[in-house]
Amino acid sequence: MSCVRQVNATRADARDPRRRARAQGVLVLALLAAGCTRTINVTRPEPSSFKVQIVCAGQSAADCPAVAPGVTTCPAPSPEQKLDLGIPSQPVDPLQRYYQAQVTAIDTDGNPYPSYQGTAKVYEMFDGNTTPARSALTPCSSDGLSATSCLTLPFHNGQACLQVSLPLAPNGTVYGYNQTALWVEDSGTHTSYAAGASQPIYRPAPLISDVQFTQDLDTGASALDNKHVRIDRGTGGRPLVVTSISTGAYTVTDMGTPGDHPWGSLEVYSYSYPQTVEVDNGAAATQQAGGVTGQSFSTMNLKVGEEVYRLDGIVDEYLGLTELNFPSWQLVEDSSGQPVMATSLPQAHPLPDTALVNPLKELEPYESGLVETSQWVICALYNKQGQPVNKYDAKSWEQYQQWKVAPAAGIATTDGSCADTGISVQTNITAPSFDPIHNVGKVLCQMKGILSQVIPAPGVNLWMITPRSPDDLGVWKDSASQCPTPSP
């Protein structure tokens, strides 16, 4: 005989769980077994989703109709208040951050569900990220405007009028980039796990400064750590320029950041020597970590001075260094398909002799940027008997060929060391012929390089300069008085 298993799918009424509405259709499964009949009732909680419809947008609540306390239906904007959510090629004004959205609970049949009287949670989504973190957010005040982000949204008869201002990033820009949406979900009162997203808001792409700027002076961590970002441009439309290349990464600088580009540089970790990829049919050069498949292509090594117009990847704090991981990028090309070279490269930021007194304040803004020391001294790693003057510095030299420099005032008069006052330098790849051991005590008149940091343990901040070539080492003399006058 056949055993018939009957499954009755029902849905739960959020207002009164004892009331059930039988769903259409009965699933019947015929199983080869001894004769029996078993009925299983499956409850589907309601609502099944939310419809989130943005009806007004502006820089502040003053740009939209006022919503009276307790009102769950958003007022209609005036004809003059045209809704602008942007398009991919024309994002909204960067200052736009206030939104009103009509939110409606929807049942499993796709109809409004007026029985929902619960309280939903609200999040912001952009580029696949849900942000702020999916944890306790700042609750809305009674008018919904005072908080940077709403935690809860109460419903009445299945309706709610959401009023929210997107939070501000630490550098003062609006926290939300590229394709952004408002996300509402029922994960509290009735745990129906209903969810819904608004129509997309096309916001400007983040800048390198949005990725780099931090107020965390303990770790220097990015506000966008572990988030996917797509950087399309430099500040004010200026180019992003390749400033250095190593065996597994390269650095870029936003030429639009003011002055000597604080918070304007970023390391792109490519996992292998960075190359551009040109598809043989003449398509735009593109590279993605891990390679390109399915097409015939040729590769060319990336060059210092080339302009990048798109960077895509995951922000990661690797031992204190902000990186873009799993990256892809595109180069600016001229009419003939050749990469465009920048008309100028960034000027090096001069490090003050007091830089290490407060390194996260003085050095963090120039992480992955080009910096310069003036008349710093090569520190001793070993004493006259060949013993390490500092075991950690000696170990760094023996394992990684890293040596140290420091301002003259930071050199110990007893043994020429600079354990706590120096910055590490690495030249084994870019200037391998230079021997710091035989030049201890020499003055590097002007040394340039890319600044990076390592935080191996809480409260321990180690900084390093990597010259890009032997030319970046400049000249070294027995004393500062022998150094040539710096060029303007």
pTM (2 d.p.): 0.79
88 backbone dihedrals φ, ψ, rounded to 5°: -55, -40
pLDDT of residue 145: 36
pLDDT of residue 37: 63
For residue 289, pLDDT over 80 is answered with no
Name the residue among 284, 262, 298, 286 with its Cα closest to residue 337: 284
Q: Locate 217 and state its tokens.
A: 């002076």
Percentage of the chain exceeding pLDDT 90: 49
Query: How does pLDDT run across 43-76, given as a tens digit for each residue?
Result: 678 899 999 999 999 999 999 999 988 899 999 8
Q: 3-state DSSP helix/strand/coil percent for the chain, to nearest 5?
A: 10, 40, 50
Q: How far is CA 450 from CA 78, 119, 367, 439, in A?
A: 54, 51, 8, 22
Q: Locate 108 and state its tokens.
A: 């499993």
Q: What is the CATH number of domain 349-482?
A: 2.40.50
What is the average pLDDT across 129-143? 45
Name the residue among 315, 303, 269 with its Cα closest to residue 289: 269
For residue 362, pLDDT over 50 is answered with yes
Q: Locate 114 and state its tokens.
A: 């007026």
Mean pLDDT for all residues in the chain: 82
pLDDT of residue 360: 77
Candidate ranges 21-30, 71-80, 462-471; pick with highest mean pLDDT:
462-471
Beta-carbon contacts of 52 under 8 Å, excluding residues fewer than 6 positions away, are: 101, 102, 103, 162, 181, 182, 183, 184, 196, 197, 198
Length of the chain: 488
Do 267 and 251 meet the contact criterion of CB atoms below 8 Å apart?
yes
Which range (139-143, 356-360, 476-480) has the least confidence? 139-143
Do 146 and 36 meet the contact criterion of CB atoms below 8 Å apart?
no
The reply to whether omega before 45 is within 30° of 0 (cis) is no
Domain ranges of the chain: 2-44, 49-202, 208-331, 349-482
What is the average pLDDT across 344-373? 91
For residue 80, pLDDT over 70 is answered with yes
Instruction: Name the 3-class secondary structure at 229.
Output: strand
Name the residue among 32, 53, 170, 47 with its Cα closest to residue 115: 47
Q: How far is CA 396 from CA 8, 290, 403, 429, 452, in A?
A: 69, 31, 7, 15, 15
Q: How many CB atoms lie within 10 A of CB 305?
A: 14
pLDDT of residue 223: 81
What is the average pLDDT across 401-427? 88
Instruction: Name the 3-class secondary structure at 379.
Output: coil
Q: How far is CA 451 from CA 225, 276, 296, 367, 466, in A?
A: 20, 24, 38, 5, 7
**Burial of 84 by CB count in 10 Å (0-12 exposed, 13-18 middle, 19+ buried)?**
middle
Q: How far apart are CA 137 and CA 419, in angstroms?
A: 44
Buried b (16+ CB within 10 A) or exposed e, 244-278: bbbeebbbbbbbbbeebbbbbbbbbbbeeebebbb
Q: How far apart are CA 256 and CA 260, in angstroms?
A: 10
Q: Locate 259 and state its tokens.
A: 């002055």
Q: Which helix (H) or strand (E) holds 473?
A: helix 470-473
